[in-house]
Structure 1
Amino acid sequence: MLPLRRRPWTCRKCLQQLQSRAFETAASPTPRTPFQYPPVDTSSPKKNVDDATIRRVFDSQPFWKEFSQQRSAIAPRRAGLVQNQYLTSPEGFRVFANISLQKCQAIVAKVLEASTLEEYRAMARDLDRLSDLLCRVIDLSDFIRTIHPDPQIQEAATQAYALMFEYMNVLNTTTGLHDQLSKAAANPEVVSHWTEAEKIVAQILIKDFSNSAIHMPPAERQRFVNLSNDISQIGSEFFNGAEPAKSQVTFSANSLQGLDPMLVQKIKKWNNKAPVPTMGIVPRLVLRSVRDEEVRKDVYLATRTSSTRQVQRLEQLMMKRAELAQLSGYNSFAHMTLSDKMAKTPEAVSNFLTSLVGSNRGPVREELSQLQDLKGGPLQPWDHAYYVHKRVMEYSQSRRSRQLSIVPEFFSLGTVMQGLSRLFDRLYGVRLVPQETAPGETWHPDVRRLDVVDEAEQHIAVIYCDLFSRPSKHPNPAHFTLRCSRDISAEEIAESASIGQSAHPNDGMATAMDPQTQTLRQLPTIALVCDFQEPLTNGSGRPTLLSEQSVRTLFHEMGHAVHSVLGQTPLQSISGTRCSTDFAELPSVLMESFATAPEVLSLYARHWQTDEPLSESMMRSMALDRTAHGSIYGAVENESQILMALVDQAYHSMPVEATANGIDTTDIYHQVFSQYSSLPDPDNIRPRTSWQGFFGHLYGYGATYYSYIFDRAIANKLWQDVFLSGRASVDRAAGERYKNEVLRWGGGRNGWRCVAGVLGSENPSNKDGRLAEGGDEAMREVGRWGLGRDGMSG
């Protein structure tokens, strides 16, 4: 039931690891009394000490070893994972799940038996707590089972996850919960006493119940369940089953001139034939390097033609989704999916995307004109990668300076983390404080803990940083909220006290007393996962050095984290990144703009040995390099993402009656490309290409693939009009405005109101506050803002 909103929060950059949205809490010591929860010792460490320490914690292995062992001497007793008091052993996961389950059952009984006005008025908060109890097991266990190196812990976490997930499915069929909440929401005497947050949470939960067909008659509900199961199975097969129609294309080895000779020798057979596989890195290298256009054409077509079996899976998936939408009372799957998003309708998404095509058209023509001049003739789709690579190589040989080759020496991991802390301090008045961990608190010795504190030295969040590569660790960068923030009621504190002295109302994880309301709060606990190389231990003292792209990636993930940290709402269902899918990427994409802004670079970019700051000339060289690369391929890369979003909408906007005779996804794909692509679409070639079979995100992000570019357009606008509008980019007034209008709301405010609020009514794009209500014209307006020229990978 209640965690049905566990939609993927991860961005397309974080997407390969399609994790459900986890929600965080922070770790604090076991309380001395039910009302005393000391967050972190701030009596001696001050800003300058913390600032220096954060760099050394990530850059110096000897310092980290000494720092991380300090707690062991004074607290030899083993702590639970992320300070969860139950998770000191594999068996603790079973105890944790069972205690949480008992609390859930008590709340369910309370809701089902509610009859008085007061009981109905408490219902939104009761169900939000029920959701929190489910998520605190499901989200944390799901993370631990994928990240922990100990198989016993993995298995125990999996069992806890399965137990709670099965119970959640039972709740999905408990019609009484839906009936009671609907009854409460229909009573003016109840709703008038609800806070705005409670009203929003009630609406969300009713929508979630609706999405699980709990309101349908039994026969229709069973059909809904069957369709949902079919969609899950077929979708998983589609996501994992991408395969080309042909496994290889064979050429004469002599025709592969331009490709690395060592690679040619590796794939060449005894008869001078060279079979080129149609999946993996080799075909990409062929498209980028081989001089023979016919070879590139054959490889391009083969790598964009899916197997018949894969296309059939996709068409089955589309038909099942259309039927599910009809059963739920919607015109199409897109109408059903978008009803609670900023876009609201597929028509509005189409308005945004077609407007974006227009704003991107000029830059695309510029790029293609340059490549066409380089070729000396009409440019074909199989030419693009080749001539882009050629231009990049020419640029690299003629303009890239030696300065750029040493840029990573100014981006040690420690300096970048130090820079993030300094940036957050200047923008939002919060900073990152390294904190030694208790034995057993982390899942690996490399994990660093950062406490987030505000200007009053109040503890507001915990971030666990697992940033170094190791065997069997998933390489994709990601942000996980292990527990979200929420208010803890006096009843919950009393409930914990009745269990025993050792019971903690937040399972031992971090809490803090709100100084204004004197309410005990559950603090967000976040995990950041990356795959950087560890500092060298050969005596050189060389730390982990990051490329510019890795710096942007780390800033991106920290953008998610700061949303979780600052979006602390009274109820967990709308806390932090628990917001609309097409709004969730805004904070992370915006953070990428800060990563290499000159004023931000001046905060942190220092040479790892000499501490010399990055010079202005090097900053200019970096900016010129980004601009040059963006002008070579950025707009065409943007167009490819727009086209993919248009295809996604075309597939999912089909009503069920239009699918009665089947769906030709290949025909629809070519219709979209023929109408909107600036490069010619090879539609007249038989058999036609069917690239849609490789578009795995059609399953996980069905009807919402536009979200990332939508948020990118908004982020570009905010960067230009809020942070660069006649002020320095590191501007406290702009940071406070953005924090108060966007970040602090989590998912508790309509995204359009957030955007309108931060832009202000004086902004020409928001004249008279017209963005606040959203709608078709607002979507068109965002499309006019454009995506810039950085480009983005598919």
Structure 2
Amino acid sequence: MLNSVRSRPWTCKDCLQRLHRLQRSRPERTFATAVAADQQSSIDYVAANKFAKQRDDDNLRRVFDSRSFWREFSQRQTNSSKRTGIVQNQYLTSPEGFREFAHTSLQKCQRIVSKVLAVSTLEGYKSMARDLDRLSDLLCRVIDLSDFVRSNHPDPRIQEAATQAYALMFEYMNILNTTTGLHDQLKKAAATPEVVSSWTEEERMVAEILIKDFSNSAIHMPPKDRQRFVNLSNDISQLGSEFVNGAEPARPHVVLSKSSVQGLDPVVVQQLQRWNSVPIPTWGVEGRLALRSMHDENSRKEVYMATRMSSRRQIHRLEELLHKRAELAKLSGYSTYAHMALSDKMAKTPEAVSNFLTTLIGNNRVQVQEELAKLQSMKEAAPLQPWDHAYYVQKRVLEYSMSRRSRELSRVPEFFSLGTVMQGLSRLFDHLYGVRLVPQETLPGETWNSDVRRLDVVDEAGRHIAVIYCDLFTRPNKSPNPAHFTLRCAREITAEEIAESASMDPPSHPNDGMATAMNPDSDTLRQLPTIALVCDFPEPPVSGNGPPTLLSEHSVRTLFHEMGHAVHSVLGQTPLQSISGTRCSTDFAELPSVLMESFATAPEVLALYARHWETDKPLSDSMMQSMAADRAAHGSIYGAVENEAQILMALVDQAYHALSADGGKRSIDSTDIYHQVFSTYCTLPDPQDSNPRTSWQGFFGHLYGYGATYYSYIFDRAIANKIWQDVFHGGKLSIDREAGEKYKNEVLRWGGGRNGWSCVAGVLGDANPSNANGRLAEGGEEAMREDHLGISFGV
């Protein structure tokens, strides 16, 4: 049900007290109006000020490219007597603050639960959807932020405190999901015509989502079964976390003789060598380097097999997770977990997903065979094996580089400093949507690392609409995986909440101190979306000499991808948080991010930002053409095999979550299922007769977060390609405001408040052949057919 997880705060505790007194002394003036008036003096962004806009644009590049400028910029608040908590949350100034944050939020939740359970009047039922949305928001405030902090904060004490806060609220959320009184009250509200007619479209959508979530929580079951549901949900959460963080190979090293590693970089060999042997780690970059470069096939085979064998402990975690998910689905009235997970998704059924994936893998097969045939010709006599693929691909890439790759292409990263790319993102958003990114200094205690940059998102009227914390540089023990985190969703804050916060002892901030702003269209306060973007790029030099952080084309696309999620959160500002931003169907959530990858290297967009870090010279047309030719060449070398690998992972995900709970724990052999899928669909599968067999599934962390929905990446890529071609005309309208507004208004602004198929149908328009007779809006298997959606990956 409830698991849908300017420069300064608008006021402080003293201001709240002063405003509360002001409200009492001038009752004709609303409290929200008083907040708005008080806020005006603290806003730094001025509408239509070209000088300020140019200054912000320049600063954006410099805060990421110049450490000396960043040091000066970020230290303007260092000596401030005012301190704050993490992301300006007033509670999170110490590890103990997480406990206070969780318990205070829990008390607020309990008051709302008591209020909803006691409702007996028509007015009470009319406010129920909004009350339950606030309950969801209070839970997500703690769960989302604590989950992020426990994974990204360097202080073990804060990690532990965040973990405890997360566990407390997550368990309470599962209890609420099985509280029959809440379900009964909401059902009664939704069955009352006078109530439903008073609800906004957003309130109706939230009510439908919550009723569906209740249904998925075995709400109709006897108390014993409901308790079992809570226990299973908690077990799945714990197992999932252990599975994601516990990936490990069965063997830590493969020990080879020095003579058998010929071809591997001598520097790497020297670092690894122990006497006359070379232990190759089976977890990390060294194993991948060995597979790409060692000439001896037997050595490659040994490394390949070892790097694809998970530890027994990890496989046991996965199989326990799959078993408990199957049991949870059965308890909730579904035949499999896949049926449960897909019931409210765009695909709707496992059958639709299976047909989509098998059609796609069939369409991709010819290109795969062509790629492998070229590699086979390089190996000549012996048949090509899985452990040969990376080695011969690398040889083809090197041959291509020597014969065709121009010298100027190797200089492309010089035009992609991190600062210029961030500038490009801001300029692109300004062109398409009328919003831009503004660097903002932070208060002491606001960020979890001194290298984290804060960006405020500002619209054309100079209004502050979102906060993005950018943690983009590498550091020890930091996850290398790029990610977008929603730390807090957008929503309207009611006058009742403001009054409640003001009456607390001591007075509190209605958004826990985090960013808020007045809604320009109504006399209401909004909590602004607060987002964290995490990447693992090299740091710029400390001395200031030499180039700043320079990105490869792949890294540029990665950053555009993650910022695609962010702009969905920024522009999807619905009145209720349950449908805000990326709180949408899982198989729709990747659409904005995948589409953003196409913008990254479109010539019109490159002209906005790709400039040499030192000379400021723009990327030339010939270099853009070389980049496009290089992408096409590399795509012909290994693109189809990479596509097949993605489809295979989605098929494995579907096979695992199509398991029934009837057979018991021992019926699940994840390794056997993995090999069945690969032997059926993979063009170059792992050996079936090896002992032990490969068990790569233990490294597939997305099996937890995307259980039964990993196809979403592939599915959304197909939709994104369709929108890119039909709305943005393959890049010819890549900075066109009309196209941007259409995409914003039909897709981004809805968050999860509109069916994904309706968004796709809306942005493509009635005249689009794919949407003839409105068939896309109906969704499901029919809409996913090849001749309707135009199944393809694109470049």
Return the TM-score normalized by structure 2.
0.89
Quick check: 1:487 aligned with 2:486?
A: no
Quick check: 1:34 aligned with 2:35?
A: yes
User: Which residue identity lines up with residue 636 of structure 1 in the other structure?
Assistant: V
Quick check: 1:549 aligned with 2:548?
A: no
In 2, Cα distance between equivalents of 1:342 and 1:679? 31
Cross-structure match for 2:649: 644
User: Which residue identity lines up with residue 42 of structure 1 in the other structure?
Assistant: Y
Cross-structure match for 2:58: 52
In 1, Cα distance between equivalents of 2:482 and 2:131? 35
The correspondence of residues 35-114 of structure 1 with structure 2, limited to 5 A, is 35-36=36-37, 37-38=39-40, 40-43=43-46, 46-71=52-77, 76-88=81-93, 92-114=97-119
- Report SS of the residue matched to 1:5: coil
In 1, Cα distance between equivalents of 2:539 and 2:258? 41
In 1, Cα distance between equivalents of 2:146 and 2:238? 23
Task: Summarize the Cα distance change of 1:57–1:180 in structure 2 as closer, same or farther, 3 Å threshold.
Answer: same
Structure 1 segments unaligned to the other structure (5+ residues) = 7-24
Deviation at 1:246, TM superposition (A): 5.8
Q: Deviations over 1:47-69 (max 9, x none)?
A: 22222222222223333333334
Give yes or no for contact 2:85–2:92 (8 Å, CA) kept in 1: yes
Deviation at 1:256, TM superposition (A): 3.9
Give yes or no for contact 1:112–1:176 (8 Å, CA) kept in 2: yes
Give yes or no for contact 2:470–2:533 (8 Å, CA) kept in 1: yes
Cross-structure match for 1:705: 710
- Report SS of the residue matched to 1:369: helix
Cross-structure match for 2:379: 375
In 2, Cα distance between equivalents of 1:258 and 1:83? 52
Give yes or no for contact 2:469–2:531 (8 Å, CA) kept in 1: yes
In 2, Cα distance between equivalents of 1:139 and 1:421? 26
Q: Deviations over 1:702-758 (max 9, x none)?
A: 211211111122222222221125843111111111101110011111111111111
Task: Summarize the Cα distance change of 1:163–1:240 in structure 2 as closer, same or farther, 3 Å threshold.
Answer: closer
Q: Deviations over 1:547-578 (max 9, x none)?
A: 22222222111111101100000100110111
Task: Summarize the Cα distance change of 1:694–1:138 in structure 2 as closer, same or farther, 3 Å threshold.
Answer: closer
Deviation at 1:364, TM superposition (A): 1.5
The correspondence of residues 560-639 of structure 1 with structure 2, limited to 5 A, is 560-639=565-644
Deviation at 1:659, TM superposition (A): 6.2
In 1, Cα distance between equivalents of 2:448 and 2:721? 37
In 1, Cα distance between equivalents of 2:727 and 2:554? 24
Cross-structure match for 2:420: 415
Give yes or no for contact 1:713–1:782 (8 Å, CA) kept in 2: no
Cross-structure match for 1:406: 411
In 1, Cα distance between equivalents of 2:391 and 2:580? 46
Q: Deviations over 1:643-689 (max 9, x none)?
A: 12112212221334466972344443333223222225533556554
Cross-structure match for 1:357: 361
Deviation at 1:397, TM superposition (A): 1.8
Give yes or no for contact 1:60–1:541 (8 Å, CA) kept in 2: no
Cross-structure match for 1:776: 781
User: Which residue identity lines up with residue 405 of structure 2 in the other structure?
Assistant: R
Q: Deviations over 1:109-134 (max 9, x none)?
A: 11010011111111110011111122
Task: Summarize the Cα distance change of 1:498–1:227 in structure 2 as closer, same or farther, 3 Å threshold.
Answer: closer
In 1, Cα distance between equivalents of 2:538 and 2:267? 28
> Number of aligned pairs?
769
Q: Deviations over 1:605-638 (max 9, x none)?
A: 1112211111111111222221111110011011
Give yes or no for contact 1:80–1:87 (8 Å, CA) kept in 2: yes
Give yes or no for contact 1:26–1:462 (8 Å, CA) kept in 2: no
In 1, Cα distance between equivalents of 2:272 and 2:556? 36
User: Which residue identity lines up with residue 778 of structure 1 in the other structure?
Assistant: A
Cross-structure match for 1:5: 4
Deviation at 1:545, TM superposition (A): 2.1
Quick check: 1:476 aligned with 2:476?
A: no
Give yes or no for contact 2:66–2:544 (8 Å, CA) kept in 1: no
Cross-structure match for 1:345: 349
Deviation at 1:207, TM superposition (A): 2.6
In 2, Cα distance between equivalents of 1:732 and 1:571? 27
Higher relative contact order (CA 8 A, sep 6+): 1
Give yes or no for contact 1:760–1:769 (8 Å, CA) kept in 2: no
Deviation at 1:167, TM superposition (A): 3.8
Query: 540, 547, 558: which is aligned to 1:535?
Result: 540
- Report SS of the residue matched to 1:650: helix
- Greater mean deviation of Cα atoms: 87-96 or 115-124: 87-96
The correspondence of residues 255-266 of structure 1 with structure 2, limited to 5 A, is 255-260=260-265
In 1, Cα distance between equivalents of 2:442 and 2:110? 34
In 1, Cα distance between equivalents of 2:152 and 2:384? 46
Quick check: 1:751 aligned with 2:752?
A: no
Q: Deviations over 1:518-542 (max 9, x none)?
A: 3222111122222333332324264
Give yes or no for contact 2:45–2:464 (8 Å, CA) kept in 1: no
The correspondence of residues 144-293 of structure 1 with structure 2, limited to 5 A, is 144-150=149-155, 153-154=158-159, 156-232=161-237, 234-235=239-240, 238-239=243-244, 242=247, 253-260=258-265, 278-293=282-297
- Report SS of the residue matched to 2:526: strand
Task: Summarize the Cα distance change of 1:281–1:60 in structure 2 as closer, same or farther, 3 Å threshold.
Answer: closer
Deviation at 1:92, TM superposition (A): 4.5
Task: Summarize the Cα distance change of 1:97–1:238 in structure 2 as closer, same or farther, 3 Å threshold.
Answer: closer
Task: Summarize the Cα distance change of 1:307–1:90 in structure 2 as closer, same or farther, 3 Å threshold.
Answer: closer
Q: Percent identity?
A: 74
Task: Summarize the Cα distance change of 1:94–1:720 in structure 2 as closer, same or farther, 3 Å threshold.
Answer: same
Task: Summarize the Cα distance change of 1:121–1:603 in structure 2 as closer, same or farther, 3 Å threshold.
Answer: same
In 2, Cα distance between equivalents of 1:581 and 1:172? 20
Cross-structure match for 2:517: 512
Task: Summarize the Cα distance change of 1:221–1:80 in structure 2 as closer, same or farther, 3 Å threshold.
Answer: closer
Cross-structure match for 1:117: 122
Give yes or no for contact 1:26–1:463 (8 Å, CA) kept in 2: no
Task: Summarize the Cα distance change of 1:283–1:144 in structure 2 as closer, same or farther, 3 Å threshold.
Answer: closer
Task: Summarize the Cα distance change of 1:603–1:294 in structure 2 as closer, same or farther, 3 Å threshold.
Answer: same
Query: 411, 432, 435: which is aligned to 2:440?
Result: 435
Quick check: 1:740 aligned with 2:745?
A: yes
In 2, Cα distance between equivalents of 1:310 and 1:159? 24
Give yes or no for contact 2:334–2:340 (8 Å, CA) kept in 1: yes
CA RMSD of aligned residues (A): 3.0
In 2, Cα distance between equivalents of 1:415 and 1:80? 30
Task: Summarize the Cα distance change of 1:488–1:225 in structure 2 as closer, same or farther, 3 Å threshold.
Answer: closer
In 2, Cα distance between equivalents of 1:26 and 1:757? 38
- Greater mean deviation of Cα atoms: 427-436 or 346-355: 427-436
Cross-structure match for 1:654: 659
Cross-structure match for 1:129: 134
- Greater mean deviation of Cα atoms: 400-409 or 137-146: 137-146
Task: Summarize the Cα distance change of 1:322–1:539 in structure 2 as closer, same or farther, 3 Å threshold.
Answer: closer
Cross-structure match for 2:668: 663
Cross-structure match for 1:141: 146
User: Which residue identity lines up with residue 69 of structure 2 in the other structure?
Assistant: F
- Greater mean deviation of Cα atoms: 623-632 or 535-544: 535-544
Task: Summarize the Cα distance change of 1:50–1:243 in structure 2 as closer, same or farther, 3 Å threshold.
Answer: closer
